[in-house]
């Protein structure tokens, strides 16, 4: 049985951080807005405006594939997720104030999470065959 995470989403999106803003400004400043929008009804003006903006967007903004988000692992139970949250909080508490007492609390939470994940995986394998 393979427990590899699957990609959720590979949609292409515009990368606004890497946009060529000067080219975008230049392209929009070259548009004769009066001629484009003159003597049109509101809906036609909107369609014309949208077409111009879309053309500029395609020219000046690069596309990038969005990284897949975290997918919930199907074998991890709610109880295990709660234990993982408790472990994370214990680690944060230990990292702020390095004491042996807090480290022992973190170790106990870590060991509980590891055994809980192992149990959940074994139950999932039995259930799925």
Question: Do 26 and 56 reside in the same domain of the chain?
Answer: yes
Distance CA 71, CA 86 (A): 20
Note whether 85 and 57 are same-domain residues: no
Query: pLDDT of 90-119, one tens digit each?
Result: 999 999 999 999 999 999 999 999 999 999
Interior/surface letters 27-53, b for 16+ CB within 10 angstroms, e for the rest: beeebeeeeebeeeeeeeeeeeeeebe
34 and 61 share a domain? yes
pTM above 0.85, yes or no: no
Instruction: Look at the chain and report how many structural domains it folds into.
Output: 2
**What is 44-93 written as a DSSP string?**
HHHHHHHHHHHHHHHHHS-EEEPPPPP---TT--HHHHHHHHHHHHHHHH
Q: Do 124 and 83 share a structural domain?
A: yes
Predicted confidence (pLDDT) per residue in 4-28, tens digit: 444 444 578 888 899 999 999 999 9
């Amino acid at each position: 049985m393979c427990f590899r995470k699957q990609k959720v989403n590979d949609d292409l999106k515009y990368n606004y951080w890497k946009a060529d803003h000067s080219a975008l400004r230049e392209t929009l400043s070259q548009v004769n807005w009066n001629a484009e929008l003159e003597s049109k009804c509101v809906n036609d003006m909107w369609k014309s405006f949208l077409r111009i903006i879309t053309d500029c967007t395609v020219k000046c903004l690069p596309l990038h594939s969005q990284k897949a988000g975290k997918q919930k692992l199907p074998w991890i139970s709610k109880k295990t997720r709660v234990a993982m949250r408790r472990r994370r909080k214990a680690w944060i508490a230990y990292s702020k104030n390095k004491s042996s007492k807090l480290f022992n609390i973190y170790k106990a939470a870590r060991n509980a999470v590891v055994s809980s994940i192992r149990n959940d995986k074994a139950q999932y394998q039995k259930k799925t065959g």
